[in-house]
């Protein structure tokens, strides 16, 4: 396997300090026009500065690590440099403010990222990293007033995150919503934000990975790591403002069926099963947070609920149903600007509305029957895989499939909750597929 070596720098890249053979030079928290190099996070420090309180050095070092991971994941194409067109081998040199803080958790971090992306990660932490910026106390572009904020919630603009925010507001919580502000994402996040009833602050950040040569990988397996790092920056700023050692709740609202993401078919183990909110991955992140002193408590309150159960329990009113149709669940929507209607997330979304008894008026590109009838195997693949997954199985087979997604918690009630949501999620999808005539 070819080792992809990336060296990150916080200073400007020049011909004199870059260009080592076999190394991709990446400027961190700045831009570069040097041929053959790349940059990431050009505006991130400015966005962090516009919080109304200072974050901490340890949180900003985490953000540096996350940006480095996003850069490697973006700039090194799987199909070109990955083993069997998939797994890549990364060697990353990264300057941090306090590398000694991160050295004891380096191996655990590398293993967690391997579980997340399927790649091999090796970090060399160096001194000389970019320190956290000081918060601006007055700024016309301040993006978040943290006074009174009591929690952090990830807000992607998807149906689950939208329900999660609404439930927090119904319970009189005051969250700061953390979002990836990539092109396209920001548009529908901005459209959904005014539908919330109650006070919620926002922290939208764009990592902006850019390189001075063609080709980007689009699988973005590590996107959630950057997402959580942004949230940790906000959580630490809240703790600093309140001068407390207590952990700030950091909510990751995702239905348990998707979070577990058990393989639908035997061939979907690994390459086609994402693990962005898997319980093992989140527990490993929590252990890393605790070890380095990041005051955030990762919580997924919907881990034992299907998407349909989330929607039914939320019981949206007419105006909320209208807003729900403007959420985006599709994994392929950016390609054509419309939710495809036949990928796994779209099928689960359709099944959720059906289970909740809500007419789904989302604008989809395809019906399931149209996808099945299409000549392109990739168009029909997810529908057929779903149909295979919901075929009658013995309980032991379902347990094996759930465990194939990765290690599950050992505590009996918590563990059973994951087995149950897997079974209930399959039943929910089967009920919908049956109604559409896909299965009998």
Question: Digits of tens for pLDDT over the chain (440 positions)?
Answer: 578 999 999 999 998 888 888 999 999 999 998 988 999 999 999 999 989 999 999 999 999 999 999 999 999 987 665 555 578 999 999 999 999 999 999 999 999 999 999 999 999 999 999 999 998 766 566 678 999 999 999 999 999 999 999 999 999 999 999 998 777 788 889 999 999 999 999 999 999 888 766 555 555 678 889 999 999 999 999 999 999 999 999 999 999 999 999 998 876 554 445 789 999 999 999 999 999 999 999 999 999 999 999 999 999 999 999 999 999 999 777 666 799 999 999 999 999 999 999 999 999 999 999 999 998 888 899 999 999 999 887 778 899 999 999 999 999 999 999 999 999 999 999 999 999 999 98
Domain range spanning residue 96? Answer: 3-42+55-126
Domains contained in the chain, number: 2
Residue 68 belongs to a domain? yes
Residue 247 belongs to a domain? no
The pTM assigned to this predicted structure is: 0.94
* Spatial CA neighbour of 345 closest among 362, 358, 328: 328
Residue 98 belongs to a domain? yes
Output 340-346 pairs: Cβ under 8 A, ≥24 positions apart.
Answer: 340/364, 340/365, 340/366, 341/365, 341/366, 341/367, 341/368, 341/371, 342/366, 342/368, 342/370, 342/371, 342/379, 342/380, 342/382, 342/383, 343/382, 344/264, 344/382, 344/385, 344/386, 345/258
Where is 257: in which H helix or E strand? Answer: helix 256-260
CB 96 within 8 A of CB 129: yes
Residue 407 belongs to a domain? yes
Residue 97 belongs to a domain? yes
Q: What CA dihedral angle connects 25, 29, 32 and 36, to 10 degrees?
A: 20
**Over the stretch 301-327, which tens digit does the pLDDT of each residue have?**
999 999 999 999 999 999 999 999 999
Q: What Å distances lie between residue 231 and 48, 78, 296, CA to CA?
A: 11, 28, 9
Q: How far is 118 from 120, CA to CA, in rounded Å?
A: 7
**Final residue in a domain of this structure, among 69, 94, 126:** 126
Q: Determine the straight-line distance between the first and last CA of the chain, rounded to whole angstroms.
A: 46
CB 251 within 8 A of CB 155: no
Q: How far is 216 from 406, CA to CA, in rounded Å?
A: 28
Q: How far is 14 from 86, CA to CA, in rounded Å?
A: 32
Query: What pLDDT score was predicted for residue 271?
Result: 44
Q: How far is 398 from 79, CA to CA, in rounded Å?
A: 32
Sequence-ordered list of residues with C-beta below 8 angstroms from that of 411, at least 6 positions apart, any chain:
none
CB 433 within 8 A of CB 368: yes
Per-position b or e across 370-395, b if 16+ CB within 10 A of its CB: ebbeeeeeebbbbbebbbebbeeeee
Residue 406 belongs to a domain? yes
Residue 102 belongs to a domain? yes
**Final residue in a domain of this structure, among 78, 95, 126:** 126
């Amino acid at each position: 396997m070819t080792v992809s070596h990336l060296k990150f720098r916080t200073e400007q890249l020049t011909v004199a300090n870059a260009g080592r053979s076999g190394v991709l030079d990446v400027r961190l928290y700045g831009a570069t026009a040097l041929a053959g190099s790349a940059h990431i996070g050009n505006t991130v420090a400015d966005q962090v500065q516009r919080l109304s309180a200072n974050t901490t050095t340890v949180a900003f070092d985490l953000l540096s690590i996350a940006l480095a991971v996003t850069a490697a994941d973006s700039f090194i194409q799987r199909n070109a440099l990955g083993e069997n067109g998939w797994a890549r081998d990364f060697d990353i040199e990264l300057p941090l403010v306090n590398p000694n803080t991160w050295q004891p958790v380096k191996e655990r971090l590398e293993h967690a990222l391997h579980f997340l992306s399927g790649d091999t990660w090796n970090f060399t932490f160096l001194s000389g990293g970019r320190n956290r910026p000081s918060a601006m106390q007055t700024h016309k572009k301040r993006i978040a007033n943290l006074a009174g904020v009591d929690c952090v919630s990830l807000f992607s603009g998807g149906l689950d995150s939208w329900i999660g925010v609404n439930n927090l507001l119904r319970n009189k919580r005051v969250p700061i919503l953390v979002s990836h502000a990539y092109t396209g994402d920001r548009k529908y996040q901005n459209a959904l934000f005014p539908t919330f009833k109650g006070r919620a602050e926002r922290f939208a950040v764009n990592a902006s990975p850019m390189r001075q040569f063609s080709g980007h990988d689009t699988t973005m397996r590590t996107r959630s790591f950057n997402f959580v790092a942004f949230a940790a920056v906000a959580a630490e700023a809240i703790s600093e403002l309140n001068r407390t050692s207590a952990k700030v709740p950091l909510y990751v609202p995702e239905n348990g069926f998707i979070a577990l993401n058990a393989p639908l078919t035997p061939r979907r183990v690994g390459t086609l099963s994402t693990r962005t909110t898997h319980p093992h991955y989140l527990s490993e992140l929590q252990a890393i947070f605790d070890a380095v002193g990041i005051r955030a408590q990762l919580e997924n309150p919907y881990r034992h609920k299907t998407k349909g159960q989330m929607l039914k329990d939320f019981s949206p009113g007419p105006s909320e149903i209208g807003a729900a149709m403007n959420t985006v669940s599709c994994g392929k929507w950016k390609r054509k600007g419309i939710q495809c209607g036949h990928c796994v997330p779209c099928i689960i979304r359709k099944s959720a509305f059906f289970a909740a008894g809500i007419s789904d008026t989302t604008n989809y590109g395809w019906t399931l029957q149209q996808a099945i009838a299409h000549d392109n195997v990739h168009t029909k693949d997810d529908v057929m895989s779903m149909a295979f997954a919901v075929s009658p199985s013995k309980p032991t087979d379902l347990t094996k499939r759930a465990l194939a997604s990765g290690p599950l918690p050992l505590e009996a009630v918590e563990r059973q909750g994951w087995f149950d949501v897997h079974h209930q999620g399959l039943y929910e999808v089967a009920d919908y597929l049956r109604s559409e005539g896909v299965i009998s």
